[in-house]
Amino acid sequence: MRNTFANYLIEAARLDEKVVLLTGDHGYALFDEFRKLCPNQYFNAGIAEQNMIGVSAGLAKTGFKPIVYGLSAFIPIRVLEQIKIDLCYENLPVILIGDGAGIVYSALGTSHQSTEDIAALRGIPNIIILSPADASEMRACFKLAQESEQTVYIRVGKADLGSVHDMPVDLKMGQIIPVKKEAKTDIVFIGTGSIVVSALEIASKYSNSSVWSVPCLKPIDKKQIVEVILNSKVIVTLEEHSIYGGLGSIISEIASEFNVKLPICTIGINDKFSTYCGNYKYLLEEHELDILSIEKKINDFFLLHNLVISFVSQ
Amino acid sequence: MNFNVINLRKTVLKMAFAGSTVHIACAFSLIEIMAVLYRNHLHFPEGRFDDPNRDYLILSKGHGVMAQYACFRELNWIDENAIENYFSNGSKLKGLSDAHISGIEVTSGSLGHGLSVGVGMALGAKLKGSKQRVFAIIGDGEMNEGSIWEALLFAAHFELSNLLVIVDKNNFQAMGTTDEVLKLGNLKKKLEAFDFETREIDGHDEAIIDKTILELLNSNTKKPKAIVAHTIKGKGISFMENNNCWHYTRLTSETYKQALKELDIKN
């Protein structure tokens, strides 16, 4: 997924000399090819993210199309005010890439983990928030971002977990995408980002379940969400982000707004920082976001709500 | 349209009284700088504030925005109504600079933002091969913000010789003198150490301001430029000068009349 992004970046920059890449001294090796092919469109702004966002605003104001790359722990979190005032208030066409979202930097600890970025950005007017689940969605998201002419944040999580789509995705702004559909749906799994891969695996164990991926967190097609959840018994939302202010909250808000009465099980980071160090898989377990922990949570939730759900016979 | 500094100060007073607003002293320290820039240096093709080839004036120190509004009035970019109804419900001109207002390039007031945006514009102009210049007025208090120093580093590194930073050094910030709050030390030396071609001048002497700007604009170095302009907060009105209360104090009928009278005597 990261290579897809790097390749698209080169393609975009070679097609349009107004496309410029700014990085806050991150992306070692990722941009080697870009630097080679488009050296005049590459700017390492140094470890100075606040200034980098302001500079991107100035470049956008003078007709350029900046793409700003950073780790999502810094872009957007460290520069939230610059995003609000310098970019979004003026609706400037700047694409922000937040890499390593969630707990990807499992061994580096809290400073490099990012599980509140969606929540922090959602309240800012004019921002578009995209969160691709795989390379196909990344491609579609990047295209949407380029066409949008406003400030876009692309959240890039764990990038090497495999694909959820076996074909290129045709994405319209706000749309959610079916990944697994059944004629009758009791459980709707709605996920965003890399965790959609886990959602698919979990869903395969439940009969009458469907899985939807949400690459557009803002804006989001509320009517489509309502159609998807309307005749089901329960929703499970999944995200590698806090259970507060992210996808779980978005779906709950929509269900509430349209008076769709059904239980919503929100799977995500349960309002805690990481305590331990370890590999990605280990950190997922710590946050109970590994397959087994998620399944346990879901089944406990079903029990709590007296939901009778049938499993696929093994 | 001669940007007479007495008239500009009168416009500021009129606005501030009409809107019962604060930040009068913040505007008064940069009146001469604004006047010289608009009168002699800022290039607006056909007088248009939205011409893509204009020079950019960044008021990073957004608290001084009334000085800029006063210049807009001279340019007829805003009408008398906007002055008389400053801060009235539904009016557009805000208490800090706001890029939604025609003629204002950046939204500031949250300090330490404008300079970075200006640096980006200077980079953009340079990449386009355009002759546009960026003039950025920052406050000395504003230089507490770390992002200012990030922007200075960036400007020097990318050799943005089309950028002129003017520090409105009035030695005060909201809660006291800059020395009391967070010492800045020798600003000229600091800016020189950041690889800016730097001059230190009296920020109320229009002839000197003009001459220094010209000299820096004509310099052939690749360095970005800076002027440390020594100014007086509240300049022009005896009871406001170096009296930091006028960061926050609102005019009464009496102080308004008294201030106008002082300006008339100077005229």
Q: pLDDT of B204-215, one tens digit each?
A: 999 999 999 999
Query: In the 8-state DSSP scheme, what is residue B249?
Result: P
Q: In whole angstroms, what is the distance from residue A146 CA to residue B1 CA? A: 43
Identify the three-state secondary structure at position A235: strand
The β-bridge partners of A236 are A189, A265
Record: contact A63-B52, CB cut-off 8 A: yes
Is the CB of B107 inside 8 Å of chain A's CB atoms? Answer: yes
Is the model's pLDDT at B58 over the cut of 70?
yes
Record: contact B100-A82, CB cut-off 8 A: no
Q: In whole angstroms, what is the distance from residue A169 CA to residue A194 CA? A: 16
Best mutation target among B107, B108, B127, B157 (most A Cβ atoms within 10 Å) is B127
Nearest CA to A239 among A265, A274, A209? Answer: A265
Q: What is the mean pLDDT of residues B37-54?
A: 95
Kind and range of the H or E element at B259?
Answer: helix B253-266
* Chain center to CA of B79: 21
B62 CA: distance to closest CA in chain A (Å): 13
Residues from chain A contacting residue B122 (CB–CB below 8 Å): 58
Record: contact A55-B154, CB cut-off 8 A: yes
Is the CB of A82 inside 8 Å of chain B's CB atoms? Answer: yes
| Location of each CATH 3.40.50.920 domain in chain A | 177-304
Q: What is the mean pLDDT of residues B29-46?
A: 97
* Domains of chain B listed by start with CATH number: 5-266 (3.40.50.970)
First to last CA, chain B: 17
What's the confidence (pLDDT) of residue A182?
86
As a whole-number percent, the residues of chain A with pLDDT over 90 amount to 90
B122 CA: distance to closest CA in chain A (Å): 8
Q: In whole angstroms, what is the distance from residue A190 CA to residue A248 CA? A: 9
Record: contact A55-B153, CB cut-off 8 A: no
All residue ranges of chain A with pLDDT < 50 are none
Facing residue for A50 by CB, picked from B123, B147, B158: B147
Higher-scoring residue by pLDDT: B161, A307 = B161
B153 CA: distance to closest CA in chain A (Å): 9
Residue ranges of alpha helices (H) inside A195-277 are 196-203, 222-229, 247-257
Is the CB of A151 inside 8 Å of chain B's CB atoms? Answer: no
Best mutation target among B147, B148, B160 (most A Cβ atoms within 10 Å) is B147
What's the confidence (pLDDT) of residue A314?
60
What's the confidence (pLDDT) of residue A159?
85
What's the confidence (pLDDT) of residue B157?
98
B118 CA: distance to closest CA in chain A (Å): 6
Q: ipTM, 2 decimals? A: 0.97
- Token couple for A309: 């759900």
A275 CA: distance to closest CA in chain B (Å): 31
Contacts with B, A 49-78, CB within 8 Å:
50-64
Hey, which CATH number is domain A2-155, 3.50.50.60, 3.40.50.970, 1.20.58.740, 3.40.50.300?
3.40.50.970
B216 CA: distance to closest CA in chain A (Å): 22
- Token couple for A187: 């459980």
Record: contact B121-A51, CB cut-off 8 A: no
Q: In whole angstroms, what is the distance from residue B231 CA to residue A144 CA? A: 49
Facing residue for B113 by CB, picked from A48, A60, A85: A85
Provide the CATH number for the domain formed by A177-304 in this structure.
3.40.50.920
| Location of each CATH 3.40.50.970 domain in chain A | 2-155
Record: contact B116-A53, CB cut-off 8 A: yes
